[in-house]
Amino acid sequence: MFLRNFITKRRSYVKVNFVVGLLIHVLIDVGNETFEKIGTLGASTNLLVYLTTIFNMKSITATNLINVFNGTCNFGTLAGAFLSDTYFGRYKVLGAASISSFLLRDINLKLAEAFHLNEMPLL
């Protein structure tokens, strides 16, 4: 009798903890995604101002470029998830993406130094 009551109370306690933990996780995840979206919108706005003032692009051209960039970034995560789930596995895709990101960033910096693109023009 005592053992049966103890197990029943323990199960209800576990269910309550599971539900509370799930709600906390959902709130943290929604908050994280919200602030990530706010940060992305802020960076896109700053990039639009940079493209129109420093590179003298038309506003519509700069907006189209930012939209293509955002769409490519969003599609890249879907493609990576598909490849990792279907063919290669999580860690191989993560490693390849990290290495390619580092190499492309390094190549971009080297090209910017070679063509003097990192010097800001005076306004």
With respect to residue 56, please indicate whether it lies within any of the assigned structural domains: yes
Distance CA 68, CA 88 (A): 27
pLDDT one-digit tens code per residue, 80-120: 888 888 988 888 888 888 898 889 888 887 887 777 766 65
Q: In sequence order, what are the residues at sequence separation of 6 or more whose Cβ sits closer than 8 angstroms to the Cβ of residue 53?
A: 123
| Domain identity same for 7 and 42 | yes
Domain count of the chain?
2
- Indicate the pLDDT class of residue 69, thresholds 50, 70 and 90: confident
Q: Tens digit of pLDDT for each residue in 17-57?
A: 777 778 888 888 898 888 988 888 888 889 899 889 988 88
Residue 24 sits in which domain range?
2-74
Residue 113 lies in a domain: yes
CA distance 65 to 63: 5
State the pLDDT at residue 3. 47
Global confidence as pTM = 0.56
37 token code pair:
């979206």
d(CA 49, CA 62): 9
Between CA 117 and CA 123 the distance in angstroms is 16
- Asked if residue 15 and residue 69 are part of one domain, the reply reads yes
